[in-house]
Structure 1
Amino acid sequence: MTDAAASAGTVTGSLRDDWPADRGASARADRAFAFYPALALAALLPLGAVTPLFPVEVGVATFALGTLVVGMAHGAVDHLVPLRAAFGVSLRRSLVAVSVVYAVLGGAVVAGFFLAPVAAFVGFIVLTWLHWGQGDVAALAVAGVEHLRTPWERALTLVVRGGLPMGVPLLSHPGEYRLVAEWIVGLFVADAAAAVAPVFTSDVRIAVGVAMVSATTVSLTLGAWRVRKGATRRGWLRDVGETLTLWAWFLLAAPVFAIGVYFALWHALRHVGRLVLLDDVAAGALADGNLRGALRRFARDAAPLTLGGFCVVGGVALAVPYGVAAPGDLLGVSLVAIAAMTLPHVAVVAWLDGRQGIWRA
């Protein structure tokens, strides 16, 4: 896009014109791993609306199932990302680099929970907000939308998309949100209720609500303006539809249940689709319509470190000062372990974003 066109707001291409290179494979990945799962989540809205009537243990079981089926696996191919995304990187170098990142950053997160559990919990929420928004921006790039032309427009979309699962439940179901916080922090301190109380004041909820409504309004309005300037309406309507679906889902559904379904059906699957496109063999299978072949190859690559992820959960369970005695404690342990794996995972994904130019002007 020329400087003159950019200054006039004229749109001439997609969010990324040169990635993914194989548009046939990317279109199939988008349908299989993003578009159809989004339709499935919309179809589940009536179920979500009644989940606040269920015991919270139903949500815990849903979260555990989603994590077991696909949630843990979606980050278990990080060790192959440098190998597949950069020229001249050997398998050994890829394994060593990612292993060091995971050991250093993951260890720092666990130490943070032991030293300052409330601050670590808040940091985990902010980090997840960033990462889930990061994932949706990349998914929109795979979909080839045209209305997110500048890095700051993508950053605003990141704020909205990441804030929907992390911020909206604080508005709609603060009691269960606080309960989860107490489960996590309670693994490390005796009086978790008092420790997390400052995070759940009405002022915090109001600030989050105002920020989310404002960011959503500005983001979708800017997208409409881009459509008027020449961006395809289809991509913007896709963005609007997904955003409103997520608003409805997290307003209606009980938080633990909502996050469990979202993690597996939305975020993790979108990242799996992105990783499939990184693998020439899997992407070729997908381009030929062989979705099962692509998934088999991903499952093979992800299996060893998926098991490793569950070992991390077990290690955290053995290390926490106050032990694991109830389903809520198990969820808390799982989230601490996921937090330890999320920070290095975000680092790897941020590196991949840079390689693929997701945030390039």
Structure 2
Amino acid sequence: MADGRAPARTARPPSGATDEAEGPRRPDRLLRCAGTVSQLALGGLLALSPLIDAAGPVSSPAFLLAGLLLGLPHGAVDHLVPAWLSARGRPVSARVALLVAYPAVAGVGLTAFRAAPDLALVGFLIVSVVHFGTADEAFHAERDRRPIRPRVAAVLAYGGPPVVVPLALWRDQVDPLLAAVAPRAPALLTVEVRTLALATVLCAVAATAIREVRAGRVRDAVPPALLTALFSTVPPALAIGAYFAAWHSCRHVARLLRHDPGNAADLEAGRVGPPLRRFARQAAAPTAVAVAALLALVTWPGHRADPLPATVAVLAALTLPHAALVAWTDRREPVLRRPAG
């Protein structure tokens, strides 16, 4: 230049971010596959719905218990996540604090279920809607390498069907399950409350589908409709169990595999087997502890608990710290600081 000054440099966006001039990055392969698998699993269950009633007692709580237990490992490595997302190793004091705080919060939730089971169950249902919805929003954003910014309508569109639709459309099967956990909970969820909640969720599903189509993400307009159709036609015990194991847990585990720095080389090379085995080793001990605690509640001499209420209470208690940690993870937006693999 005439004045001898070097031309100014243009700031570059963080690796993995979306650049409006270049357009969105290529979707992450692992998360895209996990999303496809979860949709195929629940889509297949929906396609078989006409044959399900003739197949046997699919309304049995055993299907719900099986799905909940199969999905239990997805939160078993929560204690490792903060270190995975930290730029440097977290101090020992921080790790100890997390190991103490996590069971403490879970203990508060379990105590709430014993002290006021009806209010605790209603609160758990609300937390579940938010957790399920924000999890799917974060999954799609991380898959597309976009910033994680949950939208209220989308959270309701993804988190509402697994909770609200069975409550509104399957009262004859859902209320006995609720009453087994908290006897007065069905009375708190009046017909008016359920109808209003269902109408809100259906409006959110429609609004989200329209928004995704307008944004050019036509495929993302399908899942909310799929979830709504599934929970409208398949008995809730089977639908919720399948959703928790094959959708929510599957997608969360896929995100965890990406967050673990030890999996970077394998995922970069397209190898999923070693990361899955690594995750299985990491999740084995915490899962065993949770299952042992559940078995103790169910089989302890003189204080035996019904398996269904005990399982729901334990999972609800674990959901509180798990949902808080996942929310913290989403706020970190790790996708913006991780190169496209």
Question: Superposition pairs for residues 1-361 of structure 1, below 5 Å?
Answer: 17=18, 27-51=28-52, 59-69=60-70, 71-90=71-90, 92-93=92-93, 95-144=95-144, 151=149, 154-185=151-182, 192=183, 195-225=184-214, 227=215, 233=216, 236-317=217-298, 323-324=304-305, 329-356=306-333
CA shift, 1:87, in A, is: 2.2
Q: How far 1:119 moved relative to its partner?
A: 0.2
Q: Which amino acid aligns with 2:36?
A: F
CA deviations on 1:74-106 (whole Å, 9 max, x unpaired) are 000101001101123337445423322322211
Helix, strand or coil for the counterpart of 2:63? helix
| Structure 2: gaps spanning 5 or more residues | 1-15, 20-24, 337-341
> How far apart are the structure 2 equivalents of 1:321 and 1:162?
38
CA distance in 1 between counterparts of 2:302 and 2:220 reads: 44
Shifted more, 58-67 versus 98-107: the winner is: 58-67
The answer to which of 47-56 and 304-313 deviates more is 47-56
1:16 to partner: Cα distance: 5.7
Which protein is richer in helix relative to its size? 1
- Structure-1 separation of matches of 2:30 and 2:94: 25
**1:55, 1:116 → 2: CA distance?**
35
Distance 1:319 1:166, change over 3 A: farther
Cα distance in 1, alignment partners of residues 260 and 295 from structure 2: 31
Q: How many percent identity over aligned positions?
A: 31
**How far does residue 348 in structure 1 lie from its aligned partner after superposition?**
0.8
Change (3 A) 1:68 1:44: same
- What TM-score, normalized by structure 1, do the two folds share? 0.79
> Quick check: 134-143 or 251-260, which moved more?
134-143
Q: Shift of the alpha carbon at 1:334?
A: 0.7
CA distance in 2, matches of 1:130, 1:300: 29
Instruction: Return the alpha-carbon distance in structure 2 between the equivalents of residues 320 and 223 of structure 1.
Output: 54
Equivalent residues of 1:170, 1:205 under 8 A apart: yes
Q: How much is the aligned-residue C-alpha RMSD, in angstroms?
A: 3.0
Q: Does the 8 A contact of 2:72 with 2:287 survive in 1?
A: yes
In 2: Cα distance, 1:356 partner to 1:303 partner: 27
Quote the offset at 1:57 in angstroms: 6.7
How many residues align structurally? 318
Distance verdict in 2 for CA 1:58–1:202, change over 3 Å: closer
Distance in 1, Cα, partners of 2:297 & 2:92: 28
286 and 358 in structure 1: CA distance in 2 versus 1, 3 angstrom threshold: closer
Q: Distance in 2 between matches of 1:79 and 1:94?
A: 11
Contact 1:66 1:261 in 2 (8 A): yes
Please say which of residues 39-48 and 60-69 is displaced more in the overlay.
60-69
The alpha-carbon distance between structure 1 residues 57 and 303, as it changes in their structure 2 partners (threshold 3 A), is same
Per-residue deviation at 1:129? 0.9
User: Aligned partners of 2:221 and 2:316: how far apart in 1?
Assistant: 30
* Distance in 2, Cα, partners of 1:294 & 1:59: 35
CA distance in 2, matches of 1:332, 1:289: 42
Distance in 2 (CA, whole Å) between partners of 1:297 and 1:254 is 35
Asked which structure has the greater CA Rg, the reply is 2
Amino acid at match of 1:275: L
